[in-house]
Amino acid sequence: MQLQSSRPLLLRAIIYVFIVILFFVLLFAAYKASGLRPTKHFATMLHNGTATFAPTTILISLDGFRADFLQRNLTPSMQTFINEGVSPPYMNPSFPSVTFPNHWTLATGLYPEAHGIVGNTFWDPEFEQDFYYTHTEVSMQSKWWGGDPLWSTAESQGIRTAVHMWPGSEADVGEYEPAHLDKYNGSEKLSVKVDRILGLLDLPGPDSPHALGDQPRPQFIAAYVPNVDSDGHRYGPNSTEIRGTITAVDTMLGNLFKGLEARNLTDIVNVVIVSDHGMATTDVSRLIQLEDLIDTSLIEHMDGWPLYGLWPKNPDNLDRLYQELKFKAEHNPAIDVYLRDFNMPERYHFSNNDRIAPLWIVPKPGWAIATKDEFDVAEGLRTGAAYKPHGLHGYDHEHPLMRAIFIARGPAFPHQPGSRLEPFQNIQLYNIICDSIGADPAPNNGTLRLPLKPVGLHTDVEPEETPEDPEPSTTSSSSSASASASASSTQATTTSLAGHVLTSASSASASSTSSSASSAPSSEATAAPAPPSDGGDDDEEGKEEGDGEGGETEEEEEEKDWWAWFTDKVNAAKGWAVDVANKAGDKVEEVKGKIKGGEKEKEESSS
């Protein structure tokens, strides 16, 4: 009898346990289904009155566009874009601050040490082969390229893409290729880029009876603009010519914005403008002869430029070579010396890849290292010969002269106009773009997700100070005479910084991302811009930097755990409740104000 009476209790207990288990299974399933992706919040269809658009984003990279170029009163279109959108005062590139590593970081969200493109040129000890970006028959092979670029991530999920000249986009990176791929063309006019982007948006969508299977309208468009970098190398970042180029690029963007407005797409299509790095002025007075630092006969391979990665012929000589360079660096404040596996700064994220040379000489911004075959420093100083290029990058990625830009506007960025973000590194871009088009990102080093979290408005703070960028020396006989003294100083490996104070990579602290070098405004700030440069061809002066192709020119993302996801949901509900309460309180106060106002009017009328 007792056994029979206990059965209903047991059955009831089993049912309760089953309900509890089922509840947690359903809750966990919801957690997994959400994938911790806030992207679905933005994945809504929008209509411009003519056609329906799935979440669509245009990403434009302005190669070599230094962050403080925006402060030269040359970019009215971009300033309007900043005032309408959301942006940090600058975005840091990744180390080394050169084109191919950073464009692949922008596309994958991985540090160069993680995706493997560790320079514009480098030696791979496993393949026993050089990577050189202009040798496309070799450099575009899949074996070099790690990570999953944005177009591959999107295409694998049925989101169609178009890529216009993006560095590395012609590489064979796997199963999924962009629906539209435009190869690099350094001489393409800026107006053609605008027509190409708008033409892609004009294609019929998948819901149109005129949809073209082989010519789908893309939801993601990535476009590359090399002009500022090309002319920055050719003429220098403080030249009159670069002012004209900056103006021309701003005009191009203005025409793109007008084209979007004419199509009623301003509030429908996301636009994100970035750059890959900044630029520093170079000069013959800031050159160091490599042969004065090291016996080059002991070196098998040399990577990079203006920094140098060294592969000794005999690995047993590595420590001796390092000690010699370290001694010379102690007497030469223009360089830092690092062993990849010993003292490479952790913030560089430039150690965990066998393609990274074991020994590095990293000059301060504005300085360059040259072999005698490239440029005889002593002879150049004696004769007053000009060193080319006149602008370089590749230095400490946190130095103010290397700062890049990030500006965004569109339905995926529903922030107050002119919103200001804290500065961040370019590994964050990949997740942001994926979220904006509703794609699930591949594992990467970024942690930022949409919605972004502004910290205020740009109008709340003073603009960043313009970083110091030393002017080129003159080539007069008097300057040549003083330069000769500098030549002997260089050969004695005691080259001074020529009176210019530059941030030391070896002494940079964690706060270096927010600090900036002080200086007077650019000397040509009042000069009239040169005629705009509307072409993108690179010349021999800049080709080593890889800011064009064809010779022209580990953490994975930390996933939130179950508890973090659950508390996020609770906090979101709490925030919603507080917001409702605040709005209700505001409404009550508004009604009270109206009642008091009415009573006051009655008193005044009665009196």
Active site residues: 99
Amino acid 586 reads D
Count Cβ atoms below 10 Å from residue 291 Cβ, excluding itself. 16
Q: Which residue has the tokens 């500022």?
A: 228
- In angstroms, rounded to a whole number, what is the distance separating the alpha carbons of residues 364 and 421? 28
Is residue 285 within 8 Å of residue 300, measured between CB atoms?
Answer: no
Sequence-ordered alpha helix ranges (H) in 202-298: 227-235, 240-262
- In angstroms, rounded to a whole number, what is the distance separating the alpha carbons of residues 303 and 265? 45
Burial class (CB in 10 A: 0-12, 13-18, 19+), 325: buried
Helix axes 2-34, 562-606, angle to 10 degrees: 80
Is residue 117 within 8 Å of residue 450, measured between CB atoms?
Answer: no
Quickly list DSSP for 33-79: HHTT-GGGGT---EE-SS-EE-SEEEEEEETT--GGGGGSS--HHHH
The first and second tokens of residue 578, run together, are 């507080």
Spatial CB neighbours of 545, under 8 Å, sequence gap ≥ 6:
98, 99, 120, 229, 233, 305, 389, 392, 393, 394, 553
Helix axes 76-84, 240-262, angle to 10 degrees: 50
